[in-house]
Each structure stands twice: as structure tokens, then as C-alpha cells.
Amino acid sequence: MSTGDPFSLAGKRILVTGASSGIGRQTAISCAQMGAQLVLSGRHAERLAATCAELEGEGHTQIVADLTRQEDIDRVVDESGPLNGVVHAAGISKLAPFRLISRAHLDEIFSGNVYAPILLTKGLLAKKRIAAQGSILFISALASHVGPVASGVYSASKAALLGAMRTLALDVVKQGIRANCIAPGYVRTPMLEGLNQGGGSIDEHAKLTPLGLGEPEDVAYAAVFYLADASRWVTRNYFIVDGGLTVPMDIYA
Amino acid sequence: MSNPAHKAFSLEGKTILVTGASSGLGRQIAISCAHRGARLVVTGRDAMRLQETHDQLKGAGHVQVTADLTSSDDRERLAQVSDNIDGLVLCMGGQMLSPIRQLKEALMTAMYRTHFLAPVMLTQRLLQANCINKNGSIVFMLSTAAHIGTRGVGPYSAMKSGLLGIIRCLAIELAPRKVRVNGISPSVVPTPQLWGEDNEQNEPLNKERARHPLGLGTPQDVANGAVYLLADASRWVTGTSLVMDGGAVL
């Protein structure tokens, strides 16, 4: 593609967390295909290296880190270098009916899904790691609006990202930095497969979704749009990528 | 150089029909789509201005049809030359303001015919005549007015909100054919036709600019949003709208 392509990520360095699997992994792969240089973060060294090996282009780096630990967040901030984009794709999901919610369960889910992306963003901003015209993207989830069974804490954690993002976007607009959320529906990922071992079935989720189960690429391409200059006028935005799952639901009621 | 991501954002091999293509957002969307490899069918009311759009389209094989889409004869004529459409962008419009207390039936009817009846019935005709391909994408040009209340904008707001209803129901109806249906909701994009010249004296524009954290948008910004919604990159996005508002938030 020619230079001046608003969808190209050539010349951009992008940090993707949760890059060892699922949506994070595919986002890294698709961003590299669009020309970006990647900084990958993930907990599993071997799987992270496997993602890195799949990236087109050169100069990609990987940082093995558990973002529920502050020292690991600090290390990612220190080692990431200058960035033009950040995709917070790391996340965890565990089901618990409301009467069985414990402080430990809340701490675990919020630590991974809320504290980590917020504190990592804070660290990157404090060290001025994100360049002007940069784009910060949070992978939220439709659970934030839908509230599926037994996912109270997970849904709350994903909803928290929306509130944080709206304020963050105002804070960073003076530097020309944008912040947005993507809210995916049911996507074929290890996380969904993990949930289904708890009793659900992937086929059921696929049946609920008018366009069927999503693929990680579908979310990755939305991320490419939000990272690229094509979306330079879009900030404080919450974008639903769900194959139509919520079309028959009044999620704003 | 072509890899899966580049292909996903390309419009090569696709035919895109853009209404309201003789000016403003419709014109820029047509130009941007042609630039990404699409063949265009452009339509608008003003033959001369439509020709100007046509002249700016990169590539060959583009078709132009001068038509007033509030007329069913004109819609039929457009459908006749619109087979194998992969993308439909419904951009015709034009603002008319009126506080509800002073609203005239003639103004409301005109708004209904242009902003609601024309796009909905053109879509109906194209679907009935099997003009829209499997895996196609339909994009209604909305406005943040579809979601928010603004003094004097009632008739326009109502028609754009009405289209949200069409988008959601049509998304469900067309999902089995993998055709997706979405809206784009831009906030203020200062096109000369709607807003006049953008200079220091243009008070309404300066007021609008002040309430948008990223300032006002350009037709290119909105066209890039349309390209994403038309390209295979968005094949799993349906029944929603892409808000483009420089952070003003609905």
C-alpha cells in the first residue's frame, strides 16, 4: 500500500498486552501485517515467543510480565520505549454466582481487568511514553452491558473500563492522544473455551449471535481501525463488535 | 504486498453504491472508496456536481445516475443499473431546522421524504431486486443527532433516530445472508453546503468547535469510517453505529 494510507500502521510502535493468546495475539499479528512494530506483553514466555514468531516485519520486542504485579507494570513501562498505540487486551474471566462472590474473587478479576490497564496507562503517561496522535484502546466486553449469568464481577470490571476511558480521553486530548473501548461479543478464543468448560457450550453462544461466533481477526481489525490515523477524529468512544448479539437487546435501558 | 490484514481493509473487486454523492460526505466517501479499489455507482440530484464527483474517482468502470430518490421512478431507474452491489452508503440529506412549536407539516414531510423514506425504500427496492450481494454491507449516514437532543433539530433528529430502528431490524433480517447493516453518526463536519465558509466570523462553527475536544471533523474522517464499515474488516459488525465526534460524546 502507498504511504499516506490512513489505515496503515507503518511507522507506529504499538504495545499489545495479553499478546500470548486470543484477541491480544491476533491484534498483534494483524497490526504487524499493517506495518506496525510491536511490543508484546504476556504472562507465558513460550506462547509470547510463539506470537512474536508469527509477526510480519522486524524489530518487534517481547516483555514477559504479569500485569497484576506493580513491579511488572513498571518494567513494561521502562522497557516499552516510545509508543504510538497501546492495546489493553490482557484480561481474565471467571464465573461466580453472586452469593458466592468473595473478596479474593473481586481482587483477582479487578486486578487483571481494571487495575492493570489503568496503572499501566498511568505509568506510560507519567513517563511520556505515548507520542502525540497516539491511540489507547481498551478491550472491554459486552458483558459490561448485558450482564450474563454468574459474571457479575467480570461484567463490573469491564464496565469500569468505560468510565475510566471517558475521563482518560479528556485528560490526554491536549497531547492529541485518543482513548477508546471496543466491546466484543462472543469470540472464538481460549478464554471462551475456558468458560465453556464450566458448563456452557460454544454452539449456544454461536446460536445467540446473528452472524455466528466471531473470530479474533474481527476484533483485531476493529483495533487496527482505532489505532490507525483513519480514526483520528474518534475518541471517548465505545464500539460494539458482536456479530449482532445485542441488536435484539435493549442494552442501554 | 498483500496479506490478510491488507485484504481486509481493501475494497478491490467490490461495487459500492453511494447516494448523495454530488457533494459533502457522500462525495468524499465515493472518492475514498474508489481510491481503495472499489467500482462506484454514484447518484445525486445535481447532474453537474455529480459529474464533478465522477471526474474525481480513481479507476475505471464507475457509473453515475442523476436521480431524486424521493421518487419511486428514480429509485427504480437506479436499481436497474445497480446489480451486484457489495456496499450501499445512504448519504442523501440536507438540514432543515425548526423548533417543534413552529413546525410546519410541509417541512416535516420534506424531512421524512428525504431522510427516511428515500433511503429506506431504496434499500427495500435493492433487496427485493436481489441487487445486494452476500457478505455485503449497508451503511446509513446518521448523525449524533440520532442520539442526542439539540434545540431546533427535532425533525432531523427524529428521522435519524428512525433510521436506528431500521438498522437494528434490518441487521437481524439480513444476518442469514451475512449482509451487515450499520450507521455512522458524525458530529459536526463543516461542509460548505451545510455550514458556510469556515472562518473566524462563522460563529455557529466556532461554538461547535469549542465543545469538541478534538475539534471538528473532516469529510475524509467520515469517509475512513465508511471504508472500515464497507471493507471485510468489519464483517462481524452489525446493527450498531460508529460514532465519530471528536470526543464530544453523545
Task: Classify residue A40 by its DSSP letter.
Answer: E
Preferred mutation among A211, A213, A237, A252 to probe B, highest tally of B CBs within 10 A? A211
Count contacts between A and B (CB, < 8 Å). Answer: 128
Q: B101-135 pLDDT, tens per residue?
A: 999 999 999 999 999 999 999 999 999 999 999 99
The CATH number covering residue B158 comes to 3.40.50.720
**Grid cell listed for A28:** 498483534
Q: How many CB atoms lie within 10 A of CB A168?
A: 24
Q: A222-244 pLDDT, tens per residue?
A: 999 999 999 999 999 999 999 99
Q: B48-94 pLDDT, tens per residue?
A: 999 999 999 999 999 999 999 999 999 999 999 999 999 999 998 87
**Grid cell listed for B48:** 453537474
How many domains, chain B? 1
Identify all chain B residues contacting A7, using CB atoms and an 8 Å cutoff: 9, 224, 227-228
Higher pLDDT, A145 or B238: B238
Identify all chain B residues contacting A31, using CB atoms and an 8 Å cutoff: 5
Order of strands, sheet of B85-90, starting from the edge strand that comes earlier in the sequence: B63-66, B39-44, B15-18, B85-90, B132-141, B180-186, B241-244
Please answer yes or no on whether A7 and B242 come within 8 Å at the CB atom. Answer: no
- 3-class SS at A151? strand
- Where does A13-241 sit in CATH, by number? 3.40.50.720
Domain boundaries of chain A, sorted by first residue: 13-241
Report pLDDT for B137. Answer: 98
In a domain, B167, yes or no: yes
Vertex A237: Cα angle to A233 and A239 (nearest 5) = 115
* Mean pLDDT taken over chain A: 93
What does the radius of gyration of chain B's CA atoms come to, in whole angstroms? 17
A244: left (phi over 0), alpha (psi -120 to 50) or beta: left
Please answer yes or no on whether B238 and A210 come within 8 Å at the CB atom. Answer: yes
Please answer yes or no on whether B224 and A231 come within 8 Å at the CB atom. Answer: yes
Examine the pLDDT at A206 and tell me if it is beyond 90: no
Q: A78-137 pLDDT, tens per residue?
A: 999 999 999 999 999 988 999 999 999 999 999 999 999 999 999 999 999 999 999 999
Please answer yes or no on whether A244 and B6 come within 8 Å at the CB atom. Answer: no
Show which residues on chain A lie within 8 Å of chain B, measured between beta carbons: 1, 6-7, 30-31, 33-34, 56, 166, 169-170, 173, 176, 178, 210-211, 214-215, 217-218, 220-222, 224-225, 230-237, 239-244, 246-248
In a domain, B250, yes or no: no
Q: How many CB atoms lie within 10 A of CB A252?
A: 7
Residues of A with active-site annotation? 154
Amino acid at A84: N
Quote the domain boundaries for residue B169.
Answer: 4-244
Please answer yes or no on whether A244 and B214 come within 8 Å at the CB atom. Answer: no
The interface pTM score, or ipTM, of the predicted complex is: 0.94
Distance CA B2, CA B9 (A): 11
Question: B23, B89, B70: which is closest to B50 by C-alpha?
Answer: B23
Contacts of residue B243, Cβ cutoff 8 Å, sequence gap at least 6: A234, A237, A239, B144, B147, B185, B250
Distance CA B9, CA B19 (A): 22
Identify all chain B residues contacting A210, using CB atoms and an 8 Å cutoff: 171-172, 175, 238-239
Instruction: Name the minimum distance, in Å, from the CA of A169 to any CA of chain B.
Output: 8
**Grid cell listed for B182:** 450499520
Q: What is the pLDDT averaged over residues A43-47?
A: 96
